[in-house]
Structure 1
Amino acid sequence: MSAQRRLRRIVAAAVLAVAVTAGVASCSLLGGNSNVPVATAKPATGTDGAANFDGGYVSAGSGAKKVDLWFDPMCPVCGAFEKSNGATLANAVTDGSITLRLHPLTFLDRASNGTGYSTRASAALVCVAVHDPERTLDYYQALFADQPEENSSGLTDKQLAKLATDHGITDISGCIDRSGPYQAWAQANTAHSQSGPITVDGKKVLDNIQGTPTVLVDGKQYTGSISDEKEFASFLAG
């Protein structure tokens, strides 16, 4: 690793640490859009496996309590939230307490050197949701376990497919090759997240999504520290 890249990582980590400590951290949806690949396929619709395209999410679990999480696969604050609270959410999915609805966004395509990483990773998650729905949460967790940093090229399509098979998930390489409708769906979700309104189960809950992660539990937004496990667990238990 070059000295310049090491310095960028140190600075980025320091900025993230301050933001997380402040408890108001999020990745902003505002910013340039140069050199961002635009999906041209018709967005997927309807439902398929664990993907609810009309609802704008892929899901895990079947509990009565609904948790909605808007995220970008390259957002470092989303990674920090997953590190602190991912186990809490996963346990609640496993014990039947919640349905976790994951809303992938793609605004950080602008930070992946023109590779459209956020769009491609979101589409790969959809591939798992469609072809191995019981492993949707496992793949979501894998995307953050070794998350690429902002302003890198992210994982290649081949690496995204290998991420699935490395975790015992079905081979999604063919799906990734044909994932244009899923990419277009994720990009359409992102556009809608900024224009709004944001509805959950037919009820308006927010004007728009202002940053990621945005987390709602039964339509109520979590505004506490993303790094305070006890605070989030208490909010989730409600």
Structure 2
Amino acid sequence: MFGSSRRRMVGCLALIPTVALAAVACSPAAATAPSPASIDPTAGIVVGDGAVDIQLWSDPSCPHCMSLDAAIGDDLAAFVADGTATWTLHPMTYVSAKRGDTTDYSTRAAALLLGAAAASEDDALLPLYALIQRNQVTADHSPSDEELLGFATTAGAASDLSTAITDYTGLATAANDAW
């Protein structure tokens, strides 16, 4: 997205510590959402249509990403809701393996987010992302697929996402590998 001739970066670029790979870029052009049938793994998940373009590279298993969402998530959601900002999430999936998580939470959660985007569950995406970040794998527990689907319901998703985790695993991996 940064190399697009349609975009001109005019503002800030902030990197969260190495593991987080979260970046924020401000742009005067609003991003457009990919069509559900042809999601480009490099395009990310686009929510909103505000003039400020916020790009976030985030892994569902990244503790720094969880801290970032805890600090700015409510403000980010408000900026998207009031039309100030467009939020583009680039789901990453590498942290689970680095932390020794054998449940592949990063990939499963990213796949669910991509499936929700493909189902046009725009209003549920930011709350779902927040729930996924708040419920990361711990030494005692890793959310199951059923729990992830419950997060989607709690976030307001009305679509049947029961196959999203398996259907979008390849796309989640491709999105990570693209960066």
Q: 1:190 is matched by which residue type in structure 2?
A: N
Separation in structure 2 between the aligned mates of residue 28 and residue 54 of structure 1, nearest angstrom: 19
The counterpart of 2:85, out of the listed 98, 113, 126, is 98
Q: Structure 1 residues 24 and 128 mapped into 2: Cα distance closer, same or farther (>3 Å)?
A: closer
Distance verdict in 2 for CA 1:55–1:64, change over 3 Å:
farther
Residues 124 and 155 in structure 2, CA contact (< 8 A), matched pair in contact too:
no
Aligned to 2:24: none
1:147 is aligned, of 125, 136, 145, to 136
Flag the structure with larger Rg.
Answer: 1
**By how many angstroms is 1:47 displaced?**
2.6
SS of match in other structure, 1:154: coil
Q: Secondary structure at the match of 1:68?
A: strand
Q: 1:59 aligns with which of 35, 46, 51?
A: 46
> Given the alignment of the two structures, is residue 27 of structure 1 paired with residue 14 of structure 2, yes or no?
no
- How far did 1:75 drift? 0.2
Post-superposition offset of 1:118: 0.3
1:190 and 2:179 aligned: no
Partner in structure 2 of residue 209 of structure 1? none
For the 8 Å contact 1:70–1:105, the answer to whether it is kept is yes
Amino acid at match of 2:134: A
Any residues of structure 2 matched to 1:217-236 within 5 Å, and which?
A: none
Q: 1:191: how far off?
A: 2.0
Report the counterpart of residue 163 of structure 1 in structure 2.
151
1:115 aligns with 2:115: no
Is 2:116 aligned against 1:128? yes
Query: Where in structure 2 are there 5+ consecutive unaligned residues?
Result: 1-14, 22-33
What CA deviation, in whole Å up to 9, does each residue of 1:110-157 have, x standing for no partner?
Answer: 0353221100000011121122233211211111233333x6663111
SS of the residue 1:27 aligns to = coil
Aligned equivalents of 2:161, 2:172: Cα separation in 1: 17
- Report the Cα distance in structure 2 between the residues aligned to 1:54 and 1:167, rounded to whole angstroms: 23
Superimposed CA distance per residue, residues 56-96 of structure 1 (whole angstroms, 9 cap, x where no aligned partner): 31111111221100000010000000011111211110110
CA, structure 1 residues 26+154, in 2 after alignment: closer, same or farther (shift >3 Å)? Answer: farther
Q: Residue 78 of structure 1 corresponds to which residue in structure 2?
A: 65
CA distance in 2, matches of 1:130, 1:152: 32
Aligned-partner Cα distance in 2 for 1:54–1:113? 24
Q: Which amino acid aligns with 1:184?
A: G
Q: Distance in 2 between matches of 1:68 and 1:145?
A: 20
Residue 175 (structure 1) aligns with: 164
Q: Distance in 1 between matches of 2:177 and 2:86?
A: 25
CA-based RMSD of the aligned residues comes to 2.5
Alignment-derived partner of residue 12 in structure 1 = none
Contact residue 74 and residue 117 of structure 1 kept, 8 A: yes
Say which structure is richer in helix: 1
Where 2:72 maps in the other structure, the secondary structure is: helix
Q: Which has the higher contact order (CA 8 A, sep 6+)?
A: 1
Q: Helix, strand or coil for the counterpart of 1:66?
A: strand
Indicate the SS of the match to 1:173: coil
Given the superposition, is the C-alpha separation of residues 155 and 66 from structure 1 closer, same or farther in structure 2, using an over 3 Å criterion? same
